Amino acid sequence: MKLSKKIILIGIITGSAIIMVRSPHDNILTNSVSIGYSYCVYPLLCINRYIVAPIEHYLHRFKMNQHQSSQITLLEQENTTLRARITELQASINYAEDIKELVAFRKQFDELNGQIASIMLKRLSDQEHYILVDQGSRHGIQTDMVAVYKNCLLGRVSEVYPLHSKITLIHDKSCKVAAYCESTDSHGIHVGNNTLNSSLQRVNHLTDITPHDAVYSSGEGQIFPRGFLIGFVEHITCDGIYKTALLKPAYDISTIKHCIILQKGMPQTTAFSVARARDQDHTEQVT
Which listed CATH number (3.90.226.10, 3.30.70.20, 2.40.10.350, 3.30.420.40) goes with 113-286?
2.40.10.350
**48-107 tens-digit pLDDT:** 777 777 787 888 888 888 888 888 888 888 888 887 788 778 777 777 776 676 666 556
| Integer CA distances (angstroms), 177 to 132, 144, 231, in order | 20, 13, 12
Tell me which amino acid residue 104 is: A
What pLDDT is attached to residue 173?
A: 93
Tell me which amino acid residue 117 is: A
| Integer CA distances (angstroms), 70 to 67, 75, 76, 77, 82, in order | 5, 9, 10, 11, 18
What pLDDT is attached to residue 203?
A: 94
Q: Hey, how many other C-beta atoms are within 10 angstroms of the C-beta on 273?
A: 15
What pLDDT is attached to residue 13?
A: 62
Burial letters for 14-48: b for 16+ Cβ neighbours within 10 Å, e otherwise? ebeeeeeeeeeeeeeebeeeeeebeeeeeebeeeb
Q: What's the CA gap between 177 and 253, in Å, rounded?
A: 18
What pLDDT is attached to residue 142?
A: 92
165: burial class by Cβ within 10 Å (0-12, 13-18, 19+)?
A: buried
Q: Where are the domains of the chain?
A: 1-108, 113-286
DSSP string, 271-283: HHHHHHHHHHHHH
What pLDDT is attached to residue 164?
A: 94
> pTM for this structure?
0.60
- Element of type H or E holding 250: none
Residue 253 DSSP label = G
Is residue 138 within 8 A of residue 164, CB to CB? The reply is no
**149-174 tens-digit pLDDT:** 888 999 999 999 999 999 999 999 99
Q: What's the CA gap between 128 and 114, in Å, rounded?
A: 26
Is residue 146 within 8 A of residue 163, CB to CB? The reply is no
- Element of type H or E holding 134: none
Mean pLDDT per block of 10 residues along the chain (287 residues) reads 55 56 52 68 73 79 83 84 80 72 58 78 93 92 91 93 95 94 93 92 91 91 88 90 92 88 62 49 45
Q: What's the CA gap between 143 and 137, in Å, rounded?
A: 9
185: burial class by Cβ within 10 Å (0-12, 13-18, 19+)?
A: exposed
Q: What's the CA gap between 108 and 244, in Å, rounded?
A: 36
217: burial class by Cβ within 10 Å (0-12, 13-18, 19+)?
A: buried
What pLDDT is attached to residue 27?
A: 56
- Element of type H or E holding 228: none
What pLDDT is attached to residue 282?
A: 45
